[in-house]
Amino acid sequence: MPMPDPAARVRAEAYRHGTHSVIDRTVPDEIAVALSYDRVGYAVMMATPTNLVDFAIGFSLSERIIDRASDVIDCALVTVEQGIECRLQVGHDVASRLAQRRRHMAGALGCGLCGLESLAEATRDIKPVTSSMRFSAPGLTAAIRDMARLQGLNAQTHGVHAAAFYQPGSADLLVREDVGRHNALDKVIGALARQGRAGSGGAVLLTSRVSIELIQKCGLFGAPLIIAVSVPTAHAIRAAEAAGITLAAIARDDGFEVFTHPARIELEEIANVA
């Protein structure tokens, strides 16, 4: 069965400026993506059916199921009637960790502690980011412009999020798109992990608002700077401050606002020392 298309052409009736017309429009699609480890199901996510191996690896890292991309021996994508299965084969240590986590989750559910466990996960501490990387304001602004230019699916649909990784001095900007903002970031994390690249070497760019989950993912990834097109939540700002992450947002063609640790950003072009 072929992989589904990430977008679809649909017909709509338009009412604009007091007139009626029938139009064709390209809209993004989403599909159920099931992740399993050694054929045992773990989670089902709604996602855009592109770069799904990157997504599976990034999700596994963000959820701390694996420690590195090499913990995944194989990742097979299987299209089924209900969606797509990402079948990950993992090493023995990971399988044992997953089995222990499943037992813990089952016990928590039985004794009524599931809510408390979920709260603890939502507010988990973020390992401090200590990268000495420096960034120039003009370089970050140019990277935001480049991200918009490289969003091919969004150019068709005007309806998907993007995440990107910017490394000063590199001409290549790694961009991933998805209907889900968390998924887009997981795809970037997975793609970089598969390339053997560390988050400490650059900045994460986001088209979405910045919530606590995105700070947690970037902190685990080791990225010293996050810059977003939309606004951060107050919780995200507090978390970034505590974790030593530079958080910039409301990025436009004329600049951006910095909410935490502004010392990593210089107003002029600079030579970066990792």
Residue 218 falls in the annotated catalytic set: no
- Pick the catalytic residue: 86, 111, 114, 218? 111
Q: What are phi and psi of 41, to 5 degrees?
A: -65, 145
Instruction: Identify whether the C-beta of residue 142 lies closer than 8 Å to the C-beta of residue 254.
Output: no
> Which residues, other chains included, contact 33 with Cβ-Cβ below 8 Å and sequence gap of 6+?
44, 45, 46, 47, 49, 52, 55, 83, 84, 85, 86
The HSE-up count of residue 107 (CA atoms within 13 Å, CB side) is 6
Query: What SS3 state is found at 22?
Result: strand
> Which residues, other chains included, contact 32 with Cβ-Cβ below 8 Å and sequence gap of 6+?
44, 45, 46, 82, 83, 84
Burial class (CB in 10 A: 0-12, 13-18, 19+), 211: middle
Do strands 72-80 and 161-166 pair parallel, antiparallel, or not at all (unpaired)? unpaired
**Residue from 31, 143, 15 nearest 77 by CA:** 31
Catalytic residues, by residue number, are: 111
